Amino acid sequence: MQCAICGRAGSDVKENTSSLYKKSILYCLDCLVSGREPYDDLVSYGWEYARFTKSYQQKIILPTLTFYRKTIEQFNEDVAKKRDEVTNESNE
């Protein structure tokens, strides 16, 4: 099994429920304890950084962005692109 966030494989990789929604994800112990989520899942969740509560920003968003070396601006741009993609698909 391989961690969905960092790609690490090993005996410490376990299935756990995402903090974002009820979806099982494989986490290594380090990513689980750090509060990280898969970046694409975070973008698909679809909110700009400022719309998250402060505790959510600190517990989930910032550790994930730091791990993936993304800025808040990049995250917001990726969310906007994803939103445009979904809107375009629904209009077709």
Whether 30 is in a domain gets the answer: no
Whether 16 is in a domain gets the answer: no
Whether 20 is in a domain gets the answer: no
Whether 45 is in a domain gets the answer: yes
pTM for this entry: 0.78
How many domains in the chain? Answer: 1
Whether 28 is in a domain gets the answer: no
- The domain of 44 spans 35-91
Higher pLDDT, 89 or 6: 6
Question: What value does the mean pLDDT of the chain take?
Answer: 86
Tokens 């601006």 -> residue: 73
Q: Given phi > 0 = left and psi -120 to 50 = alpha, else beta, which region is 7?
A: left
Whether 9 is in a domain gets the answer: no
Over the stretch 15-49, which tens digit does the pLDDT of each residue have?
A: 999 887 788 999 999 999 998 999 998 888 766 66
Whether 49 is in a domain gets the answer: yes
Over the stretch 40-67, which tens digit does the pLDDT of each residue have?
A: 988 887 666 667 777 777 788 888 999 9
Whether 71 is in a domain gets the answer: yes
